[in-house]
């Protein structure tokens, strides 16, 4: 069986057309080198920009977007448009891809209120991964198609929920039984005092969280790493999407770039 790998990227990581093009080229190379890639993408910056354009407040708590019905509609429209664009770029690079939401793959549950500044904040239409249905993924992979998934999910009753893309990535990685997961970011990896940490264990990650080295938007990312690792993914990598061909260099050449995370 091909080596299944979950690749997740967000808007900041591949905002430049050249960065996305290089990433698509790397994914094509991987698909021709014994890998079966599965893509999950976010769109936070684009959603925030569209909300600002429409005069809607863009509020985040603990790195997660507060999502009312208007924000949910914006998120869906932006993510669909982004997904279509990403699919086109991947097709131009030679990849066989199909865009889809995470509905039907990830079954979500409304996220409980989160603590912020001593208060509990209801995030609205924001979900957590509850369970998954692997069948759509298996059908894509059996057909040699790379799924390109955006993180709009639904609960068991069909109510749409916005789920953090890193969280969705971990859930999809588990559903696909991926051996590895890569989070493509806009930084060289996990940094401490400006220095890249080449490898970490989960206990070291916990120490960095306690020391407030890992904070803000990086928290959902490392929690996604933890969920993926504890569900069977062997290694998680954080790579810089702005470093040319970092993905191929790391996975095919074993280059020392980014941060790798393992259970122990």
* Residue in 145, 134, 162 with CA at minimum distance from that of residue 87: 145
- CA atoms 46, 41, 128, 219: torsion sign: negative
pLDDT in tens, 90-133: 999 999 999 999 999 999 999 999 888 888 999 999 999 999 99
Split into its structural domains, the chain has a count of 1
What pLDDT score was predicted for residue 1?
62
Average pLDDT over residues 172-184: 96
Average pLDDT over residues 157-166: 94
Most confident of the following: 141-150, 182-191, 215-224, 238-247: 141-150
Tokens for 260? Answer: 């790798």
HEC profile for 168-186?
HHHHHHHHHCCCEEEEEEC
Which alpha helices (H) appear in 8-146, and where do they start and end? 17-31, 44-53, 69-92, 135-142
Question: What CATH number does the domain containing 166 carry?
Answer: 3.40.1160.10
What pLDDT score was predicted for residue 63?
73
Q: Specify whether the CB–CB gap between 205 and 253 falls below 8 A.
A: no
The confidence band for 254, taking pLDDT boundaries of 50, 70 and 90, is very high
* Residue in 196, 195, 194, 192 with CA at minimum distance from that of residue 237: 196
- Residue 76 lies in domain: 3-262
The confidence band for 153, taking pLDDT boundaries of 50, 70 and 90, is very high
| Cα–Cα dist 240/254, whole Å | 15
DSSP string, 207-242: HHHHTTSS-TTHHHHHHHHHHHHHTT--EEEEEETT
């Amino acid at each position: 069986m091909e080596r299944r790998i979950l690749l997740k990227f967000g808007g900041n990581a591949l905002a430049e057309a050249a960065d996305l093009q290089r990433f698509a080229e790397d994914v094509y190379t991987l698909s021709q080198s014994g890998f079966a890639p599965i893509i999950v993408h976010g769109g936070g910056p684009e959603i925030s920009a569209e909300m600002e354009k429409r005069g809607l407040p863009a509020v985040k708590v603990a790195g997660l977007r507060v999502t009312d019905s208007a924000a949910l509609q914006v998120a869906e429209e932006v993510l669909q448009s982004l997904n279509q664009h990403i699919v086109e770029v991947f097709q131009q690079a030679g990849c066989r891809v199909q865009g889809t939401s995470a509905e039907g793959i990830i079954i979500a549950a409304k996220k409980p209120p989160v603590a912020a500044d001593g208060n509990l904040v209801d995030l609205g239409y924001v979900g957590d991964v509850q369970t998954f249905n692997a069948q759509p993924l298996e059908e894509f992979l059996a057909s040699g198609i790379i799924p390109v998934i955006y993180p709009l999910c639904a609960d068991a009753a069909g109510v749409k929920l916005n789920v953090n893309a890193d969280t969705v990535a971990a859930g999809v990685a588990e559903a696909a039984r991926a051996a590895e997961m890569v989070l493509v970011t806009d930084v060289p990896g996990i940094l401490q005092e400006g220095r890249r940490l080449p490898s970490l264990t989960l206990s070291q990650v916990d120490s960095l969280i306690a020391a407030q080295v890992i904070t803000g938007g990086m928290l959902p990312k490392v929690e996604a790493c933890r969920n993926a690792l504890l569900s069977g993914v062997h290694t998680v990598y954080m790579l810089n999407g702005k470093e040319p061909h970092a993905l191929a260099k790391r996975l095919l050449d074993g280059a020392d770039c980014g941060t790798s995370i393992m259970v122990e």
